[in-house]
Amino acid sequence: RVDEVGKFKEIVELLELEKVLDREIKLLSGGELQRVAIAAVALREVDVYMFDEPSSYLDVKQRLKAAKLIRRVASWSKTVVVAEHDLAVLDYMSDHVCILYGKPGVYGIVSKPHGVRNGINIYLEGYLPEENLKFRREPVKYFYTAREEAPLEERMASWGDLEKRLGDFTLQVRAGEIYRGEIIGILGPNGIGKTTMVKLLAGILEPDSGYVATQHLKISYKPQYIAPKTSKTVREVLEGLSEGILSDPWFKAEVFEPLTLEPLLDQPVDTLSGGELQRVAIAACIAQEAELYLFDEPSAHLDVEQRLAVARVIRRVTEKRRAATFVVEHDLIAMDLIADRLMVFSGEPGVKGMANPPTSLRKGMNQFLREVGITFRRDPSTGRPRANKEGSWLDRHQKEIGEYFYAVVSEEEGGEE
């Protein structure tokens, strides 16, 4: 009914909407509804297209496909405006960016437009040169080279080849291990068994075959879905998990302040918004001294600033406590900041999932992005991952040599906006 541009089939296939075309709108999941809404906007014949947080409710694969579509809409000589928290998606879609800064709930200021590379770099640096204004206490830095070359320490936990059946869904897991001080990222589409894997590691589920050797460890788990069942205040919940934690100088500096928990302390947990509840759940997980931390989608419901803060918090906690950590994440920028190695999940959502053994960040991302058809490079000045525009020289070159993630390029090559 809304196809005014004659691209119904193309857009439905790109967003993988074939299976929901005959389903009632009220029966769609959040992710399905988001993709239908994106398609409905793209199918209109207008001069200006506006997308507000198009990656919300979408898994990493769906986010990149939605970004491909929005980029394609711009190629029709149309104007496109996007508000987005996922920096990798924003980078891929945009030609120019405006930075919004200020005090949430009080005031906001919009900067002049910048080329997408410089604009995101300015945002991560936290300093607007034309205004001589600093809006972040410390810049976001990428230390990927040191992490990739760091030797693995003591093995903390291991698992054998596993199989777990849940109704009509079957998850198969290849054997692997995690080391002290290491963070393993878990990457893959929705409905492929990532949460099931985390529950196997936590001991909540038992495998039908194989073994998980984590029983000897003290484990702290932040689940994907947080359902508060208490009217206790945030202060009471955190102090109940670890007495005196709010007066601990390290916790206050490295967790409490970066997660901006001060305004929430005396609020009942069951009155918090999704983003507030997520930050409290992350703090509650960290408040417990553990050897193995499990975070399932910690950036869900968070804005870009909070996602970057959470990534830094998780890394610092893992290093400080010499623990081992698993993180399920759909935000590629956050994953790049957090993970030392990756477990990539593939298969048919809702039917069968296959978890590959942990591999290097570069190999794991390369494996995943090959399926999506998007290439990334390292920004030469900051080291952050940048999505190449579809069809650009770097995109074609990296696909030809099979390096979807990441080529490290010179300043001249990296200047593509």
In 3D space, the residue among 243, 262, 256 whose CA is nearest the CA of residue 286 turns out to be: 256
**CATH 1.10.10.10 for the 8-134 domain, yes or no:** no
Instruction: Look up residue 371 and give its two tokens.
Output: 């399926």
How high is the pLDDT of residue 380? 81
Domain boundaries, the chain: 8-134, 144-372
Please state, in angstroms and rounded to a whole number, the distance separating the CA atoms of residues 86 and 98: 15
How high is the pLDDT of residue 285? 96
Please state, in angstroms and rounded to a whole number, the distance separating the CA atoms of residues 355 and 305: 30
How high is the pLDDT of residue 54? 96
Overall residue count recorded for the chain in this entry: 417
In 3D space, the residue among 177, 175, 179 whose CA is nearest the CA of residue 154 turns out to be: 179
Whole-structure pTM value: 0.86
To the nearest 10 degrees (0 to 180), the angle between helices 274-287 and 234-241 is 20
CATH H superfamily, domain 144-372: P-loop containing nucleotide triphosphate hydrolases (3.40.50.300)
Q: How many CB atoms are located within 10 Å of the residue 260 CB?
A: 14
The reply to whether domains 8-134 and 144-372 share a CATH topology is yes
Residue 114 contacts residue 99 (beta carbons within 8 Å): yes
Taking CA atoms, 321 is separated from 180, 239, 289, in Å, by 9, 19, 8
How high is the pLDDT of residue 230? 84
pLDDT in tens, the chain (417 residues): 777 889 999 999 999 999 889 889 888 888 899 999 999 999 999 999 999 999 988 988 899 999 999 999 999 999 999 999 999 899 999 999 999 998 888 999 999 999 999 999 999 899 999 889 998 888 877 655 445 555 567 899 999 999 999 999 999 999 999 999 999 999 999 889 999 999 999 999 999 999 999 989 999 999 998 888 888 999 999 999 988 899 999 999 999 999 999 999 999 999 999 999 999 999 999 999 999 999 999 999 998 889 989 999 999 999 999 999 999 999 998 898 899 999 999 999 889 999 999 999 989 999 999 988 889 988 887 788 888 888 899 999 999 999 998 755 554 444 555
ω into residue 406 within 30 of 0, thus cis?
yes
> For the chain, what is the HEC assignment?
CCCCCCCHHHHHHHCCCHHHCCCCHHHCCHHHHHHHHHHHHHCCCCCEEEEECCCCCCCHHHHHHHHHHHHHHHCCCCEEEEECCCHHHHHHHCCEECCEEEECCCEEEECCCEEHHHHHHHHHHCEECCCCEECCCCCCCCCHHHHHHCCCCCEEEEECCEEEEECCEEEEECCEEEECCCEEEEECCCCCCHHHHHHHHHCCCCCCECCEECCCCCEEEECCCCCCCCCCEHHHHHHHHCCCHHHCHHHHHHHHCCCCCHHHCCCEHHHCCHHHHHHHHHHHHHHCCCCEEEEECCCCCCCHHHHHHHHHHHHHHHHHHCCEEEEECCCHHHHHHHCCEEEEEEEECCCEEEECCCEEHHHHHHHHHHHHCCCEEECCCCCCEEECCCCCHHHHHHHHHCCCCCEECCHHHHCCC
